[in-house]
Amino acid sequence: MFNPLNCLLPTSLSNLSKSLQVFDVSNCKIRGSIRVKIGSLNNVIALDFYGNELSGSIPRTIRRLKNIQYVDFGGNKLKAPFHMNFVA
C-alpha cells in the first residue's frame, strides 16, 4: 500500500517501545536517517522501511531487537556498517 507521508522519521518513535509490534512504513516517501533510538523498540517483531528515501547508516542499536523476525531496508540508500545475521 502506498501512503506518501513525505516526512522525516519522528524522534518520538521510541515512545512506542512497549506497545509497537509491527512498524511498516514501506513506500511512504520517508527521508533522512534512521534514529539511533530504534533499538529501544523492545517488542517489535517486524520493521519494513522498503522503498523510501532513507540514507546514512543503519544504527547498530537495531541488534538490540531480540524479538525481531522480519526486516526490510530495500529500496533506500542505507549502509549497514555491520553484518545483520540476527534476522531469521
Residue linked to cell 544504527: 59
The per-residue pLDDT string of the chain (88 residues; one tens digit each, 9 = 90 and over) reads 555 666 677 667 667 777 889 999 999 988 999 876 888 888 999 999 999 999 999 988 888 999 999 999 999 999 877 666 654 4
Give Cβ neighbours of residue 59 (< 8 Å, ≥ 6 apart).
Answer: 34, 35, 36, 38, 39
Tell me the CATH architecture of domain 11-79: Alpha-Beta Horseshoe (3.80)
Query: Please, are residues 28 and 9 in contact by the beta-carbon 8 Å criterion?
Result: no
